[in-house]
């Protein structure tokens, strides 16, 4: 897979489900995001800047400006409804002697639509106290300039810095238990592994996802590739089990444990909707034990409909390739499979299709909602390359050709399985719960010849 791991610098749509204020149709949201970063070794949790672990430090260095940014960083976010609503956006408030420009707007998902986000980043603070000494809590004003001065607008945000994840009144640092951290070192990739960790108290409420929440992420420090992200867990959760064969044997990884607290302030405190989000991350390293990776199998299996997909039997083990045939339009061929979570890539090739015939490769949830899709013809291979939370999904082809029965092959770069006997439904875009400054992958759709 040609994927580059990113530390996301956007809300990825998580905050953008807040309703727009009627008086400011172009301004959807003002927000602030604060992140703290720590490092765990054994029972010790320290600011990440104090870490001497070469894997963590080299990984952070390779991430550059998109990395964690010292112990603390802050982002001020401004969302507009359209890309050309404003020619520029500046920010003023405590810590600014003169107004500061936000970045050019970037399109971000907002449910089934798109909004446009501009960001001001401030990183590499040695502590939260140092951050707040520069960008102290208070009223911040966004000035959005339009080509027509009559359409220029301002929006304010009340940055209240008292919503960090806490435990017993003190700031809560995410941490694996000492025994769990020890067991993680040299864990068997071929067996399930249970992470045990502490809890925290949060006061955030949001309609987009569970909040406050805890989440675990894993990535490869050599390739900067996101490997896995757990579903969003309750802030009172104390454990999470990673499925067998999610990771490779004899491989070094960096993990993170995230505590997140988001406060949706609604649309009444100022001229537009605003939100505050506070996240604390603890990073650590581990290497899996030497061993043999699970061998994927190739199976030939007729697909079902979207409403009644063919489920991969659990006795198949890990499936690397599915072969089948698809009839004439409006035929479909769908399969239900279980995914442990993380970077998902599947491709398909079709042989025997008539010239001009088109096929749609689709990935859906169990409710039939299309999450990702790509169109291909008889000369192309279609590839889906996405980041998914753990759970059950459907994948399949939709035909528009009237000529029946071309053959196809579905290939999974990371094999899939029929699934455990009982698992929770996947949270759509569960990885977005890794929030604003978390491990995410560049999502893309492509059709490669």
Q: What are the structure tokens assigned to 171, written together?
A: 């700031």
Q: What is the DSSP letter of 75?
A: E
Tally of CA atoms within 13 A in the half-sphere of 167 that contains its CB: 12
Cβ–Cβ contacts within 10 Å for residue 217, how many? 25
Q: What is the DSSP letter of 134?
A: H
Domain borders along the chain are 5-287, 297-429+444-448
Q: Which of 231, 207, 11 is nearest to 110 (CA)?
A: 11
131's CB contacts (< 8 A; 6+ apart) are 34, 72, 73, 74, 122, 125
3-state secondary structure of 151: helix
- What's the CA gap between 417 and 396, in Å, rounded? 15
- Phi, psi angle pair for 14, to nearest 5°: -65, -35
3-state secondary structure of 163: coil
- What's the CA gap between 95 and 10, in Å, rounded? 22
pTM beyond 0.85: no
Q: What is the DSSP letter of 304?
A: B
Query: For the purposes of burial, counting CB atoms within 10 Å of the CB of 328, is it exposed (0-12), middle (13-18) or buried (19 or more)?
Result: middle
Residue in the structure block whose two tokens are 């995914």? 339
Confirm if 135 and 123 have CB atoms less than 8 A apart: no
- What's the CA gap between 226 and 218, in Å, rounded? 6
Q: How remote is the C-alpha of 155 from its chain's centroid?
A: 28
One pLDDT digit (tens) per residue for the chain, 449 residues: 332 222 332 223 333 333 333 344 578 888 898 988 899 999 999 888 777 777 776 666 555 445 566 788 899 999 888 878 888 999 999 988 899 999 988 887 655 567 788 999 888 888 888 888 899 889 999 999 988 888 888 888 888 877 778 887 778 899 999 999 999 999 999 888 999 999 998 876 554 455 789 999 888 887 767 778 888 889 999 999 988 888 889 999 999 999 998 877 665 444 567 788 888 999 999 999 998 877 888 989 989 888 999 998 877 778 889 998 887 656 889 999 988 777 788 888 888 877 777 888 899 988 888 888 888 765 567 788 777 777 899 999 888 766 667 888 999 887 888 866 444 443 333 333 333 333 332 222 222 23
Q: Which CATH architecture has domain 297-429+444-448?
A: Sandwich (2.60)
- Phi, psi angle pair for 99, to nearest 5°: -60, 140
């Amino acid at each position: 897979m040609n994927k580059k791991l990113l530390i996301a610098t956007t809300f990825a749509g998580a905050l953008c489900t807040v309703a727009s204020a009627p008086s400011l149709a172009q301004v959807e949201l003002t927000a602030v995001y604060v992140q703290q970063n720590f490092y765990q070794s054994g029972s010790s949790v320290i600011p990440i800047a104090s870490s001497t672990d070469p894997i963590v430090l080299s990984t952070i260095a390779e991430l550059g400006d998109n990395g964690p940014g010292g112990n603390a960083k802050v982002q001020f976010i401004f969302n507009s409804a359209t890309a050309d609503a404003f020619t520029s956006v500046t920010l003023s408030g405590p810590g600014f002697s003169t107004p500061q420009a936000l970045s050019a707007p970037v399109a971000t998902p907002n449910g089934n639509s798109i909004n446009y986000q501009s960001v001001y980043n401030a990183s590499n603070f040695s502590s939260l106290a140092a951050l707040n000494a520069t960008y102290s809590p208070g009223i911040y004003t966004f000035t959005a300039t339009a080509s027509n001065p009559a359409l220029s607008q301002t929006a304010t945000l009340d940055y209240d810095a008292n919503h960090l994840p806490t435990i017993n009144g003190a700031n809560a640092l995410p941490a694996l238990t000492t025994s769990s951290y020890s067991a993680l070192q040299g864990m068997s990739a071929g067996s399930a592994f249970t992470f045990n960790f502490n809890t925290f108290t949060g006061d955030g409420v949001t309609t987009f996802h569970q909040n406050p929440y805890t989440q675990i992420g894993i990535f490869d420090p050599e390739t900067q590739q996101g490997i896995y992200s757990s579903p969003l867990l309750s802030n009172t959760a104390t454990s999470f089990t990673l499925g067998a064969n999610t990771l490779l044997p004899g491989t070094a990884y960096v993990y993170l444990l995230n505590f997140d607290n988001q406060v949706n302030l609604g649309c009444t405190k100022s001229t537009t909707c605003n939100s505050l989000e506070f996240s604390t991350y603890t990073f650590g390293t581990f290497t899996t034990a030497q061993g043999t990776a699970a061998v994927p199998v190739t199976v030939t299996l007729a697909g079902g409909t979207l409403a009644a997909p063919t489920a991969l039997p659990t006795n198949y083990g890990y499936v690397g390739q599915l072969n089948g045939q698809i009839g004439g339009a409006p035929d479909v061929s769908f399969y239900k499979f279980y995914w442990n979570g993380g970077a998902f890539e599947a491709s398909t090739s079709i042989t025997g299709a008539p010239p001009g015939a088109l096929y749609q490769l689709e990935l859906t949830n169990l409710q039939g909602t299309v999450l990702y899709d790509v169109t291909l013809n008889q000369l192309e291979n279609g590839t889906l390359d996405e980041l998914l939370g753990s759970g059950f999904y459907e994948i399949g082809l939709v035909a528009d050709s009237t000529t029946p029965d071309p053959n196809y092959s579905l290939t999974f770069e990371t094999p899939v399985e029929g699934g455990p006997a009982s698992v929770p439904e996947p949270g759509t875009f569960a990885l977005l719960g890794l929030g604003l400054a978390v491990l995410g992958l560049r999502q893309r759709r492509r059709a490669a010849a």
